[in-house]
Amino acid sequence: MSPTALIADDEPLLAEDLRRRLAVLWPELGIVAICHDGPAALARLEADKPEIAFLDIRMPGLSGLEVAARLDYPCQVVFVTAYDQYAVEAFEKAAIDYVLKPADEARLAKTIGRLRRAIRAPSGSERSRLAEALEKVSLRGTAQPAPLKWIRASVGDAVRLVPVAEVRYFQAADKYTAVMTAAGELLIRTPIKELAEQLDAESFWQVHRGTIVNARYVSAARHDESGRVLLSLRDRPETLTVSRAYAHLFRQM
């Protein structure tokens, strides 16, 4: 029988991109489902029991780590992550593979090679290795993850990668977050509160409940007639207003 797999990623375009790459590199692999949240992924895994699960680490409802911890049958787990951080070391030591998003074909081909070998010669210890890896991640869960380096924004049917260092500021916009660069504006679904936890705090300063600015691009800070602090940015024409709660950041400017 041909091997089967499930893909779980809360970003539909990236999930579809991984499916397409797998179809080229491993055409005999059958994809039983593509899910976009943790509970749906766990339900399909329990129902279909595919040999392989590609699990995004950050998903609504249940994380990929939580889904993996609840699996009750032998399954080759490949964690899909946007962050090359502390967890990756534990995964590799426990012989569990990982793929950084967006999937790189050379790296994905290496992963497929490992999966083929594991499926051909199962050792019976997959569950113990998985449990060991998850325990290591849990024990090290207080470690500070590496700051976010790339922003993935959907533009039509494509995914555009933007280096975080090139972002001038982030602005909350209804259900989205606007990513403002020198070239223009992109929209992402990540809430501004979640972004604040992933950005390098030394460079990205929260200046309002809905605004995070890249301090490297602040050219001037001034007070208006009412005493509010206003920021001017290089490469952007608009002025940003600093709320009183964050005005102390610019007292020396």
To 5 degrees, how large is the angle CA 109–CA 68–CA 111? 10
User: Model confidence at 142, in pLDDT bands (50, 70, 90)?
Assistant: very low
Average pLDDT, integer, range 168-173: 95
Residue 207 pLDDT: 94
Residue 100 pLDDT: 79
Name the pairing type of β-strands 97-100 and 229-233.
unpaired
Average pLDDT, integer, range 154-161: 82
Residue 144 pLDDT: 54
Domain boundaries, the chain: 4-139, 160-250
User: Model confidence at 95, in pLDDT bands (50, 70, 90)?
Assistant: very low
Between 253 and 83, whose confidence is greater? 83
- Are 203 and 215 a contacting pair, CB within 8 Å? yes
Kindly calculate the radius of gyration of the chain based on its CA atoms and give it in whole angstroms: 21
Average pLDDT, integer, range 60-83: 86
Residue 17's Cβ-count burial label (10 Å; 0-12, 13-18, 19+) is: middle
Residue 11 pLDDT: 86
Residue 204 vs residues 140, 164, 186: alpha-carbon distances, Å: 25, 10, 18
Residue 164 pLDDT: 94
Residue 35 pLDDT: 97
Q: What is the average pLDDT value for the chain, to the nearest integer?
A: 84
With b meaning 16 or more CB within 10 Å and e meaning fewer, what string describes 144-162?
eeeebeebbbbeeeebeeb
pLDDT (tens digit per residue) in 187-198 = 998 899 889 888
User: Model confidence at 186, in pLDDT bands (50, 70, 90)?
Assistant: very high
Residue 94 pLDDT: 47
Superfamily the domain 4-139 falls into: Response regulator (3.40.50.2300)
Select 160-250's CATH number: 2.40.50.1020, 1.10.760.10, 1.10.3470.10, 3.90.580.10: 2.40.50.1020
Residue 242 pLDDT: 94
- Are 233 and 169 a contacting pair, CB within 8 Å? yes
Between 238 and 246, whose confidence is greater? 238
Most confident of 97-101, 130-134, 218-222: 218-222
Average pLDDT, integer, range 212-240: 93
Whole-prediction pTM: 0.57
Please report the beta strands in 101-156, taking only residues with DSSP state E, as ranges in sequence order: 150-155
Percent of the chain exceeding pLDDT 90 equals: 47
pLDDT (tens digit per residue) in 16-58 = 989 999 999 999 999 999 999 999 999 999 999 999 999 998 8
Residue 59 vs residues 5, 8, 40, 119, 133: alpha-carbon distances, Å: 18, 8, 10, 27, 19
pLDDT (tens digit per residue) in 121-136 = 655 555 556 666 666 5
- Cis status, amide bond into 74, omega within 30 of 0: no
Most confident of 46-50, 61-65, 157-161, 198-202: 46-50
Residue 121 vs residues 78, 108, 116: alpha-carbon distances, Å: 17, 20, 9
